[in-house]
Amino acid sequence: MPGVMRRILSWDKEGMLVLYNIKANTVVPKHSHTNAQHGLTIKGGGLFEYSGGKKHEITPNEAYYVPPNEEHSLLTGPEEENIFLDVFLPPREDFRKETRQPDGDQ
């Protein structure tokens, strides 16, 4: 996705740790996934919009949670860099192809 850099930091059969660096004023379109998403805003921020029109602004050092199957989108803030750290439980199957097997599985 243009403006979005994603790096899988680690994962196993229980969960996945993902670092995002997203450019200013980037829209991550509305989507959902079966995984719980726990996150932390490291730098910058943005505005989550959930199904039903509920909105939640996130700022630096703020944690957030997206329940499984909840439709959500994100508009990042005007900062040049917006950095987020997410934990997906269970791991995102669609992201596994972007990384090698965890050390414990070798």
pLDDT in tens, 76-102: 999 889 999 999 999 998 898 777 666
pTM: 0.88
Q: Which homologous superfamily does the CATH classification assign to the domain defined by 4-93?
A: Jelly Rolls (2.60.120.10)
CA distance 42 to 96: 23
CA distance 93 to 68: 14
Where along the chain do its domains lie?
Answer: 4-93
Q: How many CB atoms lie within 10 A of CB 94?
A: 9
Task: Return the beta strands (E) in the chain as ranges.
Answer: 4-11, 16-23, 27-31, 36-43, 46-50, 55-58, 63-66, 72-76, 81-89
